């Protein structure tokens, strides 16, 4: 277990969505595999 709370987990996941590391589709998140989407801003 990670020992971090639900709210912090949600904030981290939303941050990953904003920077393009993950993509949210409904209640599912996908890690983007395209390097240009992960490392570019």
- The series of mean pLDDT values per 10 residues for the chain, 41 residues long, is 88 92 92 68 57
CA distance 35 to 26: 23
The pTM of this model reads 0.67
pLDDT for the residue 37: 56
SS3 state at 30: strand
pLDDT for the residue 20: 86
| Residue 29 structure tokens | 């998140």
pLDDT for the residue 30: 93
pLDDT for the residue 41: 57
User: CA triplet 27, 23, 5: central angle to 5 degrees?
Assistant: 60
Instruction: Judge residue 22's burial from the number of C-beta atoms within 10 Å of its C-beta, 0-12 exposed, 13-18 middle, 19 or more buried.
Output: buried
CA distance 35 to 28: 21
């Amino acid at each position: 277990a990670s020992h971090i709370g639900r709210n912090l987990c949600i904030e981290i996941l939303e941050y990953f969505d904003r920077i393009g590391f993950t993509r949210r589709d409904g209640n599912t998140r996908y890690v983007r595999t395209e390097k240009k989407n992960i490392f570019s801003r």
